[in-house]
Amino acid sequence: MIYCVEDEGAIRDLMIYTLRASGFEAQGFENSIGFWSAMKAQKPELIILDVMLRGRTDDPEKAACLPCDRGYSRNYGNSKGQ
């Protein structure tokens, strides 16, 4: 399972569509609330996280600490391919 946390609906939909079309199980989240709820039920193999997520309603540091706390490796990129 791949989780995608992205507040821009069109970007999130495109990412989920592309992942599923490539044969992956994927689920998208508009905000961190849905993401953290899903994390309690199922741990994904990969998390694609918008680090500039607007309108966070819980501790923004949680997402930044996720890789350390859960054993995920960190890979950063941006929309400019850097």
**Domain range for 48:** 2-70
User: Of 29, 39, 35, whose CA–CA distance to 8 is shortest?
Assistant: 29
Give the CA-trace dihedral at 21, 63, 72, 69, to 10 degrees. Answer: -150
Instruction: Provide the number of structural domains found in the chain.
Output: 1
Give the residue with greater pLDDT, 3 vs 67.
3
Asked if the structure places residue 82 within a domain, the reply is no
Give the CATH number of the domain where residue 39 resides.
3.40.50.2300
Question: pLDDT tens for residues 4-51?
Answer: 999 899 999 999 999 999 999 999 999 888 888 998 899 899 888 887
Report if residue 22 sits inside a domain. Answer: yes
In a domain, 76, yes or no: no
